[in-house]
Amino acid sequence: MLNNSFSSSSSQVVNATSEDLISKNNHIPLPHVVIIGAGFGGLQAARALGNAPVKVTVIDRTNHHLFQPLLYQVATAALSPADISSPVRHVLRKQKNTNVLLAEVTGIDVENRCVLMHNRSISYDYLIVATGARENYFGHEQWREIAPGLKSIEDATTIRRKVLLSFELAEQESDPERVKELLTFIVVGAGATGVELAGAIAEISRKALAADFRHIDPKQARILLIEAGPRILPAFPEALSRKAHRVLIKMGVEVHVGLAVSDVDAQGVTAAGEHIASPTVIWTAGVQASQAGQWLGVETDRAGRVKVSERLAIPDHPEVFVIGDTALSMQDGRPLPGVAPVAMQQGRYVAATIKQRVAGQSTLPFHYHDKGSMATVGRSFAIVKLGPLQIGGFLAWITWLAVHIMYLIGFENRIIVMMQWAWAFLTFQRRARLITHMNLFMLPVELHPAPAQKPKDAPATTDETDNAVQA
């Protein structure tokens, strides 16, 4: 769940602004804060430093902030990429002390306090590393090209293309076995993302596409959700997990728990010695932190997360902070989960800590305030855990909608998403059903045969045209 809670130490933030410091100490340069990554944690830190007596530089390899909790809706044609994205420069446009760089970081020189990029470098006084995570294929990197994950807009549009194209190809296929393969969709990993994806694909086949084809029945699509653990949604209480499981089955999703995938190839997956044929495999089975640990030369866990102190700094370098999915932060003897609320609170905490250090004040350790978690399982059903309160159903779904709308960045995005959701709820349609980055060679050869040979003396006709297939 997304939330807006602050860490307990953030109340000590000083009120001095960058203009105050410049006017009083013109000869003293402002401390330079460099933030790597404009995700939830990095952007929260940057915004919290907007009126602080520091100079801020935000570095990201994309020019936009992505609202990842709704990325699965781009992958399943409910929303368009721009609906859940905001240009970083626009978000930070009013912060006169903040600069944005579109660049890819290649390393960090901790001893010399320098961030390395292609053909340039930049020095810092304080560094915030918020570089997120990527899919974890557990040593099988060759699976990445076959089974995309869901961490970026490119991932989402790739999945959307694969799903929609499978229906198009099945429509033109004469072999019933091949049709069955094309209409089989496999989601590996039953955390929140996997459950949301599986439910959304089921809704597409049963509702949005149900009447659009002439030679196939989209309702016959087979959606498999495969989980190696004993139950789906392991981060939620078991009672809520069971409710979600029942709803998925009712939607037509085949849920397989306690089943580990041993191989993935272009023809499908192998699990428990059985090969399941499908051209569309989606990987949501785990995450691995970015390369930040290698850049910093510090200890990491098996998932690549940097082990940080109670103040989110690395050993021997209190000026270097690591937050979000990149950090292994412990609380009450357990690691904090890699979710947006943790990253957001950590971003605000680190910004507050930097302000306090600049002002010569003491700082307090970071403490995460868990406000709950939630996941949606298709149309009109979600599960929500708010402290001791556990609910599942329509009310939980309304709560899920409200929270996600509230935390979308940009008023325009909120209005657009609400309108799209309202239309989809009333009509069962998905307006972003675009197949992009496709060429005709993806289609069966009989769709674009060579023109028939005509006798040399045959007259030319004026109505002969080349038929292009567009999506």
H/E/C letters for each residue in 230-254? CCCCCCCCHHHHHHHHHHHHHHCEE
pLDDT-based confidence at residue 442 (cuts at 50, 70, 90): low
Q: Is 177 a catalytic residue?
A: no
Please answer whether residues 290 and 131 qualify as being in contact, where contact means their C-beta atoms are separated by less than 8 angstroms: yes
Q: What is the pLDDT of residues 313-369, one digit of tens each?
A: 999 999 999 999 999 999 999 999 999 999 999 999 999 999 999 999 999 999 999
Mean pLDDT across 41-60: 97
Model confidence at 440, in pLDDT bands (50, 70, 90)?
low
Task: Output the pTM of the full model.
Answer: 0.85
Return d(Cα 181, Cα 170) in angstroms, integer.
9
Q: Please report the pLDDT score of residue 428 as a whole number.
A: 81
Q: Which domains, from first to last, does the chain contain?
A: 8-61+103-135+287-358 (3.50.50.60), 141-285 (3.50.50.100)
Name which of 370, 365, 369 is nearest 313 in CA terms.
365
Question: Using CA atoms, how far apart are residues 85 and 263, in angstroms rounded to an integer?
Answer: 34
3-state secondary structure labels for all residues of the chain:
CCCCCCCHHHHHCCCCCHHHHHHHCCCCCCCEEEEECCCHHHHHHHHHCCCCCCEEEEEECCCEEECHHHHHHHHCCCCCHHHHEEEHHHHCCCCCCEEEEECCEEEEECCCCEEEECCEEEECCEEEECCCEEECCCCCHHHCCCCCCCCCHHHHHHHHHHHHHHHHHHHCCCCHHHHHHHCEEEEECCCHHHHHHHHHHHHHHHHHCCCCCCCCCHHHCEEEEEECCCCCCCCCCHHHHHHHHHHHHHHCEEEEECCCEEEEECCEEEECCEEEECCEEEECCCEEECCHHHHHCCCECCCCCEECCCCCEECCEEEEEECHHHEECEECCEECCCCHHHHHHHHHHHHHHHHHHHCCCCCCCCCCCCCCEEEECCCCCEEEEECCEEEEEHHHHHHHHHHHHHHCCCHHHHHHHHHHHHHHHHHCCCCCCCCCCCCHHHCCHHHCCCCCCCCCCCCCCCCCCCCCCCC
Could you tell me which of 186, 220, 199, 216 has the C-alpha nearest to residue 78?
A: 199
- Say whether pLDDT at 458 is over 50: no
pLDDT higher for 29 or 159? 159
Could you say which of 135, 173, 196, 227 is catalytic? 196
pLDDT value at 420 more than 70: yes
Average pLDDT over residues 222-227: 98
> Which residues have C-beta within 8 Å of that of residue 77, sequence separation ≥ 6?
160, 163, 164, 204, 208, 430, 431, 432, 433, 434
CB 36 within 8 A of CB 56: no
At residue 268, the pLDDT reads 97
pLDDT confidence of residue 432: 79
- Which of 202-216, 371-385, 413-427, 436-450 comes out lowest in average pLDDT? 436-450
Lowest mean pLDDT, pick from 100-104, 118-122, 365-369, 448-452: 448-452
Cβ neighbours, 10 Å, residue 39: 25
Decide which of 12 and 158 is more confident.
158
In the prediction, which pLDDT does 19 show?
A: 45
In degrees rounded to 5, what are phi and psi of residue 81?
A: -55, -40
The structure tokens 């290698």 sit at 294
User: Residue 452 pLDDT more than 70?
Assistant: no
Confidence bin at 27 (pLDDT 50/70/90): low
Q: Tell me, what's the pLDDT at 305?
A: 97
Max mean pLDDT range (82-91, 434-443, 446-455) = 82-91
Band (pLDDT 50/70/90 cuts) for residue 435 is confident
Per-residue pLDDT, 180: 97
pLDDT grade for 456, boundaries at 50, 70 and 90? very low
Q: Which range has the worst mean pLDDT, 162-171, 233-242, 441-450, 457-466?
A: 457-466
Residues 147-162 have pLDDT tens digits of 999 999 999 999 999 9
Cβ(240)–Cβ(389) below 8 Å: no
Q: Which of 50-59, 237-246, 421-430, 436-445 has the lowest mean pLDDT?
A: 436-445
Q: Of 195-199, 285-289, 453-457, give the lowest mean pLDDT range.
A: 453-457
* pLDDT tens digit sequence for 292-303: 999 999 999 999
